């Protein structure tokens, strides 16, 4: 991108209440303690998501030119015209695997309005596709990313890390009602990603 039209790294998400972020930060600490107490996993350095940045991603957009942001906002206003009638609850921990080798540690999210949540994500996908944002190849899975494993870990050690982290008990948190969907910008840096809300829907 030229200097006059810089690129922005964007995604669409449901932001979490502070109580959830604080509790998930505690979960991350307990996971780190579990790893530190294990002879095999103690030396592994996971890339932990900052608690203040944990969110429920509905759609990853990626790098786009700054002059495309208005049309993306217009499409999201159509995708989310009113407050979503969804209440979210925290579920168990788990791990996403690539060829059966764990790569991401996450906390699950579920809802009594699961169909509504899925339709919300599908609506965002569809309206953004009309703005020439590529569709996701994978279906929507509601989750909160807590940590990512290094790429160079042996499979056996990956499995051990996943076993230890997902065994950590998740807190009992009160459900929260989703009031908005946010268009977020990701600022990448040596200390990890920092997220900035650009717009919220409904406005």
User: Where in the sequence is the domain holding 39, given as residue range(s)?
Assistant: 7-201
Per-residue pLDDT at 1 exceeds 70: no
Q: Which domain CATH number covers 65?
A: 3.90.1140.10
Q: List residues bridging with 97 in a β-sheet.
A: 102
Please report the pLDDT score of residue 189 as a whole number.
79
Q: Are 103 and 149 in contact (CB under 8 A)?
A: yes
DSSP 79: H
**Does some domain include residue 97?**
yes
Chain segment 35-63, per-residue pLDDT in tens: 999 999 999 999 999 999 999 999 999 99
Peptide bond into 99 cis (omega under 30): no
Give CA separation, 77 vs 15, 47, 127, in Å.
Answer: 17, 34, 9
Domain count across the chain: 1
Q: Does some domain include residue 2?
A: no
Residue 156 lies in a domain: yes
Q: What is the pLDDT of residues 109-126, one digit of tens each?
A: 999 999 999 999 999 999
Residue 1 lies in a domain: no
Does 146 reside within a domain?
yes
**Cβ neighbours for 134, distance < 8 A, ≥ 6 positions apart:** 62
pTM for the structure as a whole:
0.92
In a domain, 107, yes or no: yes
pLDDT of residue 71: 97
Residue 98 pLDDT more than 80?
A: no
Select the more confidently predicted residue: 99 or 84: 84
136 located within any domain: yes
39: Cβ contacts below 8 Å, ≥ 6 apart: none
Bigger pLDDT: 83 vs 189:
83
Q: Tell me if 163 is assigned to some domain.
A: yes
């Amino acid at each position: 991108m030229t200097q006059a039209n810089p690129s922005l790294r964007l995604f669409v998400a449901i932001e979490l209440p502070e109580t959830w972020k604080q509790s998930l930060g505690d979960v991350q600490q307990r996971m780190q303690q579990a790893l530190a107490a294990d002879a095999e996993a103690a030396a592994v350095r996971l890339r932990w998501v900052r608690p203040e940045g944990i969110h429920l991603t509905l759609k990853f957009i990626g790098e786009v030119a700054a002059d495309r942001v208005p049309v993306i906002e217009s499409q999201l206003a159509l995708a989310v015209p009113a407050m979503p009638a969804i209440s979210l609850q925290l579920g168990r921990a788990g791990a996403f695997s690539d060829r059966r080798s764990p790569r991401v540690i996450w906390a699950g999210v579920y809802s009594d309005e699961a169909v509504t949540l899925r339709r919300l994500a599908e609506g965002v996908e569809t309206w953004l596709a009309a703005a020439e944002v590529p569709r996701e190849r994978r279906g929507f899975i509601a989750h909160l990313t807590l940590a990512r494993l290094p790429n160079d870990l042996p499979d056996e050690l990956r499995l051990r890390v996943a076993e230890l982290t997902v065994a950590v008990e998740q807190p009992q948190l009160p459900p929260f009602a989703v009031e908005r969907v946010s268009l977020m910008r990701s600022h990448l840096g040596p200390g990890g990603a920092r997220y900035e809300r650009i717009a919220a829907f409904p406005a």
